[in-house]
Amino acid sequence: MRKAILMAAGASAVLAAMVFQADAQTTPTPPAAAAVLAEMKQRVSLRPVESFDSIKDPKARSVALFEEASKVIEHPRCANCHPVDHPAQADNRHLHMPFVSRGADGHGEGLPCASCHTSGNVWVGGTRIVTIPGNPKWALAPASMAWQGKSLGDICRQIKDPSRNGGRSLIQLYEHMAHDGLVGWAWDPGAGRTAAPGTQAQFGQLIQAWIDTGAQCPTGGPIVPSHDVKPGTQAPLRPTV
């Protein structure tokens, strides 16, 4: 009798588990949770170029394409290395520690970038899964291409201005965005860092489509945060992340 009861109880548990599993597969996601999931997906992905075809006005489509590409341009993996003088770190964009300045050639003054940053990402071990980022061309972007503290519209006009973008034509700008290895680091930043949205190929497609529609710029847009410090002021002591 006892054995029969235990067998019946076991069968009931299995049946309950099957019902729970089926319910979990069929129960719709609550609207609030769905909104959060949709926002998370939007932050880590890039819309395909074709999704902008419904915007019939070429100028408006061009602006929309650049705004989509700005998910990469304004992402910390890119914007942190486009300061006026002092780079930022991590997703919260805190000031780089140890405190460094760009120097005359963007490779560091006093403490050269190569003192820590080598030709590839290096895991330093310990209890925290984080790497020192690296690339053969590791350096800050030229001061003429400082993005921090600027609106998206200002960054757009800066990017396509040959007098500030390293003398690049729009064709050369596309090649830089779509194929440059240092730009590509943003999608392979090493353990402990959030990669830029989408892929470099998708980013390049958006840039090419933006160029093809006239390389139009937004009138304003969000400001890229900056934690740069004024000359003569003390840099805050914050942990490296």
Q: What is the pLDDT of residue 17?
A: 42
Where b means 16+ CB within 10 Å and e means fewer, 109-145 reads eeeebeebbeeebeeeeeeeebbebbbeebbbbeeeb
Alpha-carbon distance of 116 to 99, in angstroms, equals: 13
Instruction: Tell me the Cα Rg of the chain.
Output: 24
Q: What is the pLDDT of residue 220?
A: 76
Question: Per the structure block, which two tokens stand in for 87?
Answer: 């780079």
C-alpha torsion sign, points 228, 234, 240, 241: negative
H helix intervals, the chain: 2-26, 31-44, 58-73, 76-79, 152-159, 170-179, 181-184, 200-212
Q: What is the pLDDT of residue 127?
A: 67
Per-10-residue mean pLDDT, the chain, length 241: 45 41 47 51 82 97 98 96 93 91 91 94 79 95 92 96 96 98 97 95 98 94 66 41 38
Q: What is the pLDDT of residue 224?
A: 78
Question: Residue 8 burial (CB < 10 Å; 0-12/13-18/19+)?
Answer: exposed
